[in-house]
Structure 1
Amino acid sequence: MDRRLNFNECIAICNFDYLPEGLEAKYNRYQPDHEPDLIPRAFLSELFEQYQIPEQTRQRLVRGVEAIEKDDALFHFTQFLVEELCSARNRCDETHYTNMTPGCMKQDGELYSFLLLLACVVPSMEMLRKRSVPLTYYEQIPHQPLKLQLEKLVLYGDAKVHDFPWVMNFYTCSIFLLDRFYFIPYRFGDPFTMFRHVHTQDVMALRHAGEEFRSDGQRNGINDVYDRQGCFTSEWLDNGELIMANRMNPMGFVERETTQIMKKEWEPVLQKGDTLLALHIPSGPGYTPDRLKNSMTMAVEFYDQYFPEFSIKGFWSASWLYDTRLSLILDNEKSNIVRVQRQFYNYPTLEGDGMLRHELFGDRNSDPVRSPGDFTTSLQKAAAEYMRTGARFNTLSMIVLKEEIKQIGSMPYIKGADMEEFHRTVDSHLREVCG
């Protein structure tokens, strides 16, 4: 290009069917590196050989890459997107990047999202190499989704990227498997503050004001279940010396009665904007407190060494596996699901039981009560039976502060009184007159 196109000129030419909001300011800051290729051909050749890609598919992919490179505006904008995607996760950028198709790409436009992600692999690896991260940590990371994507393309000609935001973590080498679990930086933003007692070192989380909860301490309206008579609204009063607010019981619910703490005795240890490591759970064996402890220990050491600019406060995650209602239907001594969730500071979210329905019954919208199906596991049967009572499961989130890693295995946050209060409170909204 003789001159750099401004943002509006560029997107008018490219004519994308979707672009996330907030790109213009990032585009205006972008400094092109003037790389001649979108994807190095040597890298493509290695992939083709590694996965034994048929000639027809090879030609299709190369044709798609060349189509992008020959369109000055599209090539320039794609290089900008690559730079943004490669650094987004480490910036904790919450921009919703997903499938994008440029209308200017008349042929092979369906390949664009895959090629965009594929173009992130080499520069992402180079960024890690410059940080002196050993190759063993990331060499195979992009191949997790890449292998399946290429198989789908070869067998069915299907180039669509499934779950772009998730697989983006792998193509950009932003997520790391450390022993049993995956980790990726995450900026904490939920409406509560965690405190630590200056003498006892106990941890307490207090919910911020203005949220409505059912009598069971879950958000009112979750799973479309309301508790209009028994609901309450969270409070927060700070008079300079003490804070009065609703405590989040680490068994995963908000307590109705407020708790008072003296500010000189409790220090804030987790607030909005702090950096955590998001923990993701791959399928397979080894979901145990010991493996959790080992993985978290490795993660803190890894990020301290290779990403020292992060001030990691601990860990965050959200899952159906953390729903403490599962402890009502599982053997609390033998179940790894229960044993692991007891190591967390669990708390309620606005997500209902769609994740559990998907994982246990194959569909987020499945109804194991009305359509029982052929349940093959004891957990499926127990969960369906529980739901027949009118009760519902939830997706909970969890926090583990890095100071408590060494205590994993001995329930660092949950006390006996918390479990007793949970049993008194759980499903209490079902005993109320619901609207």
Structure 2
Amino acid sequence: MERQLDFNECTAICNFDYLPEGLEAKYNRYHPDHKSYLIPRDFLSELFEHYQIPEHTRQRLVRGIEEIEHHAVLFHFTKFLVEEMCSARNRCDETRYTNMTPGCMDQDGDLYSFLLLLACVVPSMEMLQKRSVPKAYYERIPHQPLKHQLEKLVQHGDAKVHDFPWAMNFYTCSIFLLDRFYFIPYRFGDPFTMFRHVDTQEVIALRHAGEEFRSDGQRNGVNDVYDPHGCFISEWRENGESIRAHRINPMGFVERETTSILKKDWEPALQEGDMLLALHIPSGPGYTPERLKNSMSMAMEFYGEYFPELPIKGFWSASWLYDTRLSLLLDNEKSNIVRVQRQFYNYPTLEGDGMLRYEVFGDRNIDPVRSPGGFTTSLQKAAAAYMQTGARFNTLSMIVLKEDIGRIGSMPYITEADMEQFRRTVDSHLREVTG
């Protein structure tokens, strides 16, 4: 192109079925790299050989790449997308990148999303090389989704990318497996503030004002379950000396009674906008407090050495595994699910039990109450029996602050009093209905 087309001209010509919001300002800051290729052919050849890709699939992929490269405007815009995507995760950019298909591609538009992700691999690795990150940390990262994607393409001709945002973490080499868990930068945005006592180092989380909770301390309406008579709205009363608000019990619920703290005794430890590392849990053995502690220690060391500009305050995650209701069903001394969740500062979310239904029963929409038969594992049977009482599970989130990593294994946040209050509070909204 003789001149760089403006954003609207580009998108009109490319005719995407979807583009994320907020790209125009980024496009206006983009400086073209003038590379004549989208994906280096030597990288492509190595990939073909490694996975023994048959000739017809090789030709199809090369044809799709060449169709992009020969369309000047699409090629230009695709290189812009690659540059943005490669650095998005470390910038904690919330742009919703997902599958997109340009209408200007005549033959192989169905390949575009996969080729766009594939084009991110080499520049992402080059960025890590410039940071002196050892190759062992990232050379296998893209292959986790890539292996399945290529198998699907070869066997079924299916180029669709499943869960594009999750796959993007791997193609852009933004997520790292450190011992047992994956880690990736994450911007904290939930409506509460954590404080640490200046002398005792105790940590407390206070929920912000204006949210509605059931009497069990879960968000009113989660799982479409409401508590019209027992619900309460969170408050935050602050003056020069103190803050009075609703404490989040680290067993994963918000307390009805407010708690007051003196500002001279407590310092903010985590606030909205702070940077954390999101922790993701791959399947397999080793889900223990010991491996959690080791993985978090490795993550802080890794990011401190290779991404020193990121002011990491700790860790965040969301999972069905953190639902403290599971402690009502499982052996609290032997269950790794319970032992691990006791190391976290757990808190409620608006996500219901869809994740648990999928992970435990294999179907996000299954109703264990109406279809109680066929369950084989002890967890399936216990969860189904619990739900038959009218109770429901929740997806909870957790925080671990970096200063507390060394205390993992000895419950850094949860006390016996917290557990006792949990047992008194859990499912209280149901007792009000039945009692």
2:66 match: secondary structure: helix
Q: CA deviation at 1:25?
A: 0.4
Which ranges of 4 or more aligned residues in structure 1 deviate by more than 4 Å? Answer: none
User: What are the within-5 Å matches in structure 2 for residues 86-235 of structure 1?
Assistant: 86-235=86-235
Q: Say whether 1:18 aligns with 2:10.
A: no
User: What are the within-5 Å matches in structure 2 for residues 5-404 of structure 1?
Assistant: 5-404=5-404
Q: CA deviation at 1:432?
A: 1.9
**Over residues 307-342 of structure 1, what are the superposed CA-to-partner deviations in whole Å (9 max), with x where a residue is unaligned?**
000111000000000000000000000000000000
Q: Is this contact kept in 2: 1:229–1:433, CA < 8 A?
A: no
Shifted more, 356-365 versus 409-418: the winner is 356-365
Root-mean-square deviation over aligned CA pairs: 0.6
Q: CA deviation at 1:2?
A: 1.1
Q: CA deviation at 1:433?
A: 3.2
Q: State the distance in 1 between where 2:124 and 2:377 align.
A: 41
Q: State the distance in 1 between where 2:312 and 2:20 align.
A: 28
Q: CA deviation at 1:18?
A: 0.3
Q: State the distance in 2 between where 1:183 and 1:92 align.
A: 13
**Over residues 332-363 of structure 1, what are the superposed CA-to-partner deviations in whole Å (9 max), with x where a residue is unaligned?**
00000000000000000000000000101111
AA in 1 matched with 2:279: L
Q: CA deviation at 1:373?
A: 4.0
Q: State the distance in 1 between where 2:13 and 2:362 align.
A: 42
Q: CA deviation at 1:374?
A: 1.5
Q: Is this contact kept in 2: 1:17–1:101, CA < 8 A?
A: yes
Q: CA deviation at 1:399?
A: 0.2
Q: State the distance in 2 between where 1:142 and 1:60 align.
A: 21
AA in 2 matched with 1:162: H
TM-score by length of 2: 0.99
Q: CA deviation at 1:56?
A: 0.1
User: What is the number of equivalent residue pairs in this alignment?
Assistant: 434
Q: Is this contact kept in 2: 1:145–1:167, CA < 8 A?
A: yes
TM-score by length of 1: 0.99
% same residue: 84
Q: State the distance in 1 between where 2:284 and 2:376 align.
A: 18
Q: CA deviation at 1:372?
A: 2.3
Q: State the distance in 2 between where 1:49 and 1:427 align.
A: 57
AA in 1 matched with 2:89: R
Q: State the distance in 2 between where 1:268 and 1:73 align.
A: 49
Q: State the distance in 1 between where 2:348 and 2:34 align.
A: 48
Q: State the distance in 1 between where 2:292 and 2:40 align.
A: 38
Q: Is this contact kept in 2: 1:324–1:338, CA < 8 A?
A: yes
